[in-house]
Amino acid sequence: MIHRRFCFLAAVAVAMALASPGPAAAQSEALLEIYQQYRQQNAEGRYAEATESADKALALGEKELGKDHPVTGNLLNNLAELYRKQGRYREAEPLYQRALVVLTEANGPKHDSVAVVLGNLAVLYKTQGRFAEAAPLYKRALKIDEAALGRRHPAVGLTLNNMAELHRVQGDYKAAEPLYKRALKIIEGAHGPDHRLVATMLNNLALLYRKQGRDDEAEPLYQRSLTIDEKVLGAEHPDLALTLNNLAALYGDDGRFEEAEPLYQRALAIKEKSLGPEHPSVATLLNNMAVMYKEQGRHTEAEALYNRALTITENAHGPAHPQVATLLANMALLYKTQERMPEAEEFYRRSLAIDEAMLGPDHPEIAVTLTNMAELYKAGGDYAAAVPLYRRALTIREKTFGTDHPSVESVRRNLAALEAMDKE
């Protein structure tokens, strides 16, 4: 059974800042004012309000400057970023594409602003599991940045990091590692060894090591990242929760629960104090703590955390967000452990419906849910119901990772064993 743990270290998406409209007229001051409002709301995680402000800024920018002005392209990108953060992927994509057209025509196809939008669109495609579409966008962005800014520019480091993330989620760890290391070297060279971005790169490289079972190498990277964040941000900054969460997950997965729990609790206290108890990032930590409690057999505590996380996430993002699907899938795993099979089945079905609607029918996360649902039916002896779920999961994994990937081979073996049991 596979838990779907939330992680704070998704690909570093480079959000484009709005250049000042200039001293032309009073309207430009109004545009800058609404933009600053958007920036503050976005930074505070108030995405619904930020979206409203970004939408107003875009309308005002189009009216004042025209639909083909580069500032309008920036505003399109910013609104798209907000939609992406909220799981509104279908709304984000056409805005990114329009921003790409505007900035390409206004600034030329080799301008670094074009690389930014290419990178952001690639992050969207990666999130949707559209890996084959994301890869060439990252390559284009990297080529532009290296030519326009130089091979050692921080923007190059960020794009390399994002390319490494793409390889990691596809299980191509061999290709990911040198990209992460080159990104880390660039960022350290540009900003020094104690910069916030260095901490982020260390986190991402540590996650790669964890995926490879190299926890002994991951742990010191997390610890160095934590030291940097505490030095740069202070002990109570909300971004500190990133490394606390990831280090806690490492300890929890290694069965070091006594070390993991205080880190989770510290991260949760920081987030609740700085962002409020109903912020979506609080739900992230609650989910991850609940995963740990389930593994310890503390089922009542786990369920309470899952329910609170679900309420927060639905209130923040609505009932059809991918993070809601993740929580439902994890709760289904808990219910299966408790032999509450009807509830587990219901939650799996709800999770699957959300993911199919928001991510598309072939996203890798759907294969995870299908596999877990198949295991639920298998445990109940309903092999006829389990087999088609395994077959669909296998098809998705083969399409995503290729026929020779270890995860594909694992599903293939399980399917063969299940088909044999179904024939008996």
Q: How much is the pLDDT for 341?
A: 95
CA 123 to chain centre: 9
103 lies in some domain: yes
At a CB cut-off of 8 Å and minimum separation 6, what does 208 contact?
164, 168, 173, 176, 177, 180
Given a contact cutoff of 8 angstroms between Cβ atoms, the answer to whether 92 and 84 are in contact is: yes
Return the residue matching tokens 């759907």. Answer: 366
Q: How much is the pLDDT for 3?
A: 60
- List, for residues 279-338, the tens digit of each pLDDT value: 888 999 999 999 999 999 999 999 999 999 999 999 988 898 888 999 999 999 999 999
Q: Give the domain-ending residue among 149, 181, 197.
A: 149
CA 376/CA 372 separation, integer angstroms: 6
21 lies in some domain: yes
pLDDT beneath 50: ranges in the chain = 7-26
95 lies in some domain: yes
Nearest to 374 by CA among 396, 357, 354: 396
Return the residue matching tokens 């921003």. Answer: 99
**What spatial distance separates the first Cα and last Cα of the chain, rounded to whole Å?**
24
105 lies in some domain: yes
Domain encompassing residue 5: 1-149
Residue 365 sits in a domain of what CATH number? 1.25.40.10
- Output DSSP code: residue 240: G
- List, for residues 77-119, the tens digit of each pLDDT value: 999 999 988 878 899 999 999 999 999 999 999 999 999 999 9
CA 38/CA 408 separation, integer angstroms: 44
179 lies in some domain: no
102 lies in some domain: yes
Nearest to 207 by CA among 183, 243, 255: 243
Q: Give the domain-ending residue among 101, 121, 149.
A: 149
Token pair of 401, please? 């990772």
329 lies in some domain: yes
Q: How much is the pLDDT for 353?
A: 95
Q: How much is the pLDDT for 2?
A: 57
198 lies in some domain: no
Q: Give the domain-ending residue among 121, 149, 177.
A: 149
Q: How much is the pLDDT for 399?
A: 86
- How many domains in the chain? 2
